[in-house]
């Protein structure tokens, strides 16, 4: 499965979250580390859902870009 992740750059760190998996988040000092940690967080999150006998949410989120021409 492939889940969309959102990465946000803060003043001193990067945050990542998964729109289709509420509560699945990671924070790190670098973007690369945030990507590594969110991958681990997704695996851990899905493992927890399986252990609890819950359904694994299908990835439904998609991404698009909108280009804006500044005047």
CATH code of the domain covering residue 64:
3.30.160.250
Q: Hunting for tokens 């790190």 — which residue is that?
A: 28
Q: What is the pTM of this model?
A: 0.88
The b/e string for 14-34 (b: 16+ C-beta within 10 A; e otherwise) is bebbbebbeebbbebeeeeeb
17-57: pLDDT as tens digits: 999 999 999 999 999 999 999 999 999 999 999 999 999 99
Q: Range of 39's domain? A: 1-71
Check: CB of residue 41 under 8 Å from CB of residue 34: no
Nearest to 38 by CA among 54, 53, 27: 27
63 falls in which pLDDT band (50, 70, 90)? Answer: very high
Tokens at 31, concatenated: 């973007």
User: Is the pLDDT confidence value at 71 over 90?
Assistant: no
2 falls in which pLDDT band (50, 70, 90)? Answer: very high
Number of domains in the chain: 1
**φ, ψ for residue 62, nearest 5 deg:** -130, 170
């Amino acid at each position: 499965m492939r889940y969309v992740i959102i990465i946000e750059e803060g003043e001193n760190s990067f945050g990542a979250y998964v729109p289709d998996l509420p509560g699945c988040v990671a924070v790190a000092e670098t973007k690369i580390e945030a990507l590594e940690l969110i991958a681990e967080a997704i695996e851990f999150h899905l493992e927890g859902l399986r252990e609890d006998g819950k359904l694994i949410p299908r990835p439904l989120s998609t991404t698009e870009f909108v280009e804006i021409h500044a005047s």
